[in-house]
Amino acid sequence: MKKTTRFVMPLAAVAILASSSVMTLAQQTQSPATAQYNGSFAGSPEQEQAYKDGMEAAKLDTLARRKIDPTSSHLYKNPPARVKKDQRDAYRSAFTSGYNKAINDAKANGGF
């Protein structure tokens, strides 16, 4: 029994350590075709956030195989509570810009 334990325990430790490094590597790698916000939107911080929201919504809609249309997105129809009522049109405009940019980038790069 002691001989088995001497052999199995170090082997189990090596297996655990090897799997954690593989998991870390998998979490760090990212597809080069992933659309990412690169700070190219000029506007207020609220509009910049709307642009980012649009890019993320486009990615999620594509991956979930939903209709590709910014006006059908949940955040377009119902802007976040932080957006004041008088700012909703500006939010939707920036959201649409980000959404369309993400879709166009994904098409040019072969997907998300």
Measured at the CA of 99, the angle between CA 95 and CA 101, to 5 degrees, comes to 115
Sequence spans of domains, the chain: 1-30, 45-109
- Asked if residues 97 and 53 have their Cβ atoms less than 8 Å apart, the reply is no
**What CA–CA distance (Å, rounded) separates 58 from 49?**
14
pTM of the entire predicted model: 0.64
Model confidence pLDDT, tens digit, residues 30-47? 444 444 556 567 788 999
88 CB neighbour count, 10 Å cutoff: 15
Three-class SS state of 28: helix
Q: Which of 28-37, 77-86, 93-102 has the lowest mean pLDDT?
A: 28-37
- Let me know if 93 is exposed, middle or buried by CB neighbors in 10 A (0-12, 13-18, 19+): middle
pLDDT, average across residues 63-83: 95
- Asked if residues 68 and 25 have their Cβ atoms less than 8 Å apart, the reply is no
Model confidence pLDDT, tens digit, residues 84-93? 999 999 999 9
pLDDT, average across residues 52-60: 97
